Structure 1
Amino acid sequence: MTITNEMIYEALNMFAFLAVELTLLFLLISYLVGVLQEYIPPSKIQSILSSKNGKGYIIAGFLGAITPFCSCSTILFLKGLLRAKAGFGTMMVFLFASPLLNPIIIGLFAVTFGLKVTLFYFIMAMGVSVIAGYSLEKLGFEKYIKPQAYIAPQTTSCASSCGTNAKPINKWRKIWNSTWSDFKKVLPYLIGGIAVGSMIYGFMPTEFVASIASENNPLAIPIAAVIGIPLYIRAEAVIPLSAALAAKGMGLGAVMALIIGSAGASLTEVVLLKSIFHNKMIIAFLTVILSMAIGSGFLYQLIF
């Protein structure tokens, strides 16, 4: 393949456009989420999820949408829910929904793929999360939680370690500091995804992508779902990457499966879950994510 000036221009133009757009979007939505979390603290979420009512499963899904940005950080909050004696079913809904439905992903989805695709993704992720959480509770999977997961770690007093002369920080500045800190952590993944996506958009032949991952290949969707998990591509990176693949001919069903597989689970998350769950629960967790990814891919392809 001969690289032309036009290819280089297209790649650089796509990189600049996505970098500016997604950076502004991330900062804006992250700050708004921080404001929301200021008024809905973790203790409030724990008390809501601890209640035994039929609405708890749906509430858990929506609460998961305003919590940490990736699958691994969700587990830290999950441990707090365990120690607060939250309901098992609602906790599982939270575990599935939190990394898939956070505002960053929804915002990137809407900007990149449009409202119709975003609505389909939201309904599928929310619906499967609620059904899976309810089903796992009814099937008695709560017994696969390790006893030590309920034990709270010892905490140290800030007064003894931080000093007493620290000045209070304005809450709006505190939210911005947290937003900027999150952005710096995500930035390498965001830039990496944009860079790879821009290179694919500018240099990869359309015919190559279409031949292996088009809607005509029945294996494209399950393969995309499976490879998303071990690759651990953060949503901030996989969405611009997927947009480039879609522009080159990758079927949107396979794109959907790749995003759900990579955002919903990862090898790192599985390792962290080992400290909470026995193997049967981890297998059930991975089965739900893969089923959601593959099912959403085929259903999208069928409907649209």
Structure 2
Amino acid sequence: MFDWIQHFADWLVYEVFALGKGQHLSEALNFFIYDTIKILLLLLTIIFLMGVVNSYFPIDRVKNYLSRNKLYGLEYLMASLFGVVTPFCSCSSVPLFIGFVSGGIPLGVTFAFLITSPLVNEVAIGLFVGLFGIKTTIIYVISGILLGTIAGSILQKLRLERYLTPWVLEVLANAQRDQDIFQAEKQSFRQRLPVIWKEASNILKGIIPYVIIGIAIGGLMHGYIPEGFFEQYMAKDNLFAVPMATILAVPMYSNASGILPVAQVLVAKGIPLGTAIAFMMGVVGLSLPEAMLLKKVMTLKLIAIFFGVVTLCIIISGYLFNLIL
């Protein structure tokens, strides 16, 4: 889907700027150009589509249904399963997260998607089967879905909506106001379009600085942090290898397909599979660029709580993997 963006980034970096392949600067710049264009397009598309949805479906009705009806955790499971079929990295998942929040979806349900989406997708599953076999893949997929479901449920029970930024609250208020106008005046889609587009543009303008900073950080990490830098901390005889692997993964930034071959190398060097998978989950599900993007919609306290809960779940998963496999 995004091949043309990669071709454009390659052409710009290697031909126009005449930078050599494999250099730190060229890899960082290539990554920055590719991810910036991709994520901005995703943001614009998803925010616009959510604006269309919000203009026709009452936000309060969706919110009330998901918060008042006893679905016995199925809403978190459904969000996690939806995350499985969306092949995005953590930063690419943020646009959908913003769309869900602006659509009135409960925060815990939205978190369940945000956690699962970068961890488990068809590309990662295909690579996992080839690298580690079907048994390990099944356990990984189930654990990834459970991780999103359980963490989302925990985060919802903490009632963290008060830690959303004023910007998000303003977006929600504007969405409700626009919807009231649409419903009262019975406007056609053509009449609604300028308002929807204006709101989507305003949201995008508010997010762009955080997107640029977040991706720039990711690009620097992608280009300058050597892949084998953290291996010394994941030794088999280190009781704290799993939490250290998870925490040390945060400065890294990659998607599941990019980090899986690294995990295979770690396992081949004698690092326990659970420790390697915890490292992989940390790289994919927790990253500084993601935190920068989330800073626009969450306060620092909420980001810290979110990262803390997900980190704890990943560490538990890592230890379980080492016991089972």
- Same fold, judged at TM 0.5 (above): yes
Q: Which runs of 5+ in 1 are unaligned?
A: 1-40, 158-188, 201-208
Equivalent position SS for 2:297: coil
Provide the TM-score with structure 2 as the length reference: 0.60
Other-structure match for 2:276 = 255
Structure 1 residue 78 and structure 2 residue 97: aligned?
Answer: yes
Structure 1 residue 218 and structure 2 residue 239: aligned?
Answer: yes
Alpha-carbon separation, structure 2, partners of 1:261 and 1:300: 15
Question: Which of 170, 179, 197 is the matching residue for 1:155?
Answer: 197
Amino acid corresponding to residue 133 of structure 1 in structure 2: G
| CA separation of 1:212 and 1:258: change in aligned 2, threshold 3 A | closer
Amino acid corresponding to residue 294 of structure 1 in structure 2: I
Structure 1 residue 264 and structure 2 residue 285: aligned?
Answer: yes
Query: Which moved further from structure 2: 147-156 or 107-116?
Result: 147-156
Equivalent position SS for 1:132: helix
| CA separation of 1:84 and 1:212: change in aligned 2, threshold 3 A | closer
Other-structure match for 1:146 = 165
Matched-pair contact (CA < 8 Å) for 1:213–1:254: yes
Structure 1 residue 284 and structure 2 residue 284: aligned?
Answer: no
Matched-pair contact (CA < 8 Å) for 2:233–2:244: no
Matched-pair contact (CA < 8 Å) for 2:151–2:313: no
Amino acid corresponding to residue 87 of structure 1 in structure 2: P
Matched-pair contact (CA < 8 Å) for 1:260–1:289: no
Superposed CA deviations along residues 129-184 of structure 1, whole A, max 9, x for unmatched, are 21221122122112111231251697269xxxxxxxxxxxxxxxxxxxxxxxxxxx
Equivalent position SS for 1:86: coil
- 1:109-120 alignment runs, 5 A limit: 109-120=128-139
Equivalent position SS for 1:229: coil
| CA separation of 1:131 and 1:77: change in aligned 2, threshold 3 A | same
- 1:38-53 alignment runs, 5 A limit: 51-52=65-66, 53=71
Aligned length: 221
Aligned residues with identical type, % of pairs: 33
Structure 1 residue 104 and structure 2 residue 123: aligned?
Answer: yes
Superposed CA deviations along residues 73-96 of structure 1, whole A, max 9, x for unmatched, are 111111111111112221111111
Structure 1 residue 236 and structure 2 residue 257: aligned?
Answer: yes
Matched-pair contact (CA < 8 Å) for 2:234–2:244: no
Alpha-carbon separation, structure 1, partners of 2:301 and 2:97: 18
Matched-pair contact (CA < 8 Å) for 2:83–2:121: yes
Structure 1 residue 297 and structure 2 residue 318: aligned?
Answer: yes
Alpha-carbon separation, structure 2, partners of 1:120 and 1:287: 23
Structure 1 residue 89 and structure 2 residue 131: aligned?
Answer: no
Alpha-carbon separation, structure 2, partners of 1:232 and 1:66: 21
Name the Cα RMSD after superposition.
Answer: 3.3
Amino acid corresponding to residue 155 of structure 1 in structure 2: W
Matched-pair contact (CA < 8 Å) for 2:76–2:109: yes
Structure 1 residue 219: deviation in Å? 2.6
Alpha-carbon separation, structure 1, partners of 2:165 and 2:246: 28
Alpha-carbon separation, structure 2, partners of 1:104 and 1:292: 23
Amino acid corresponding to residue 289 of structure 2 in structure 1: T
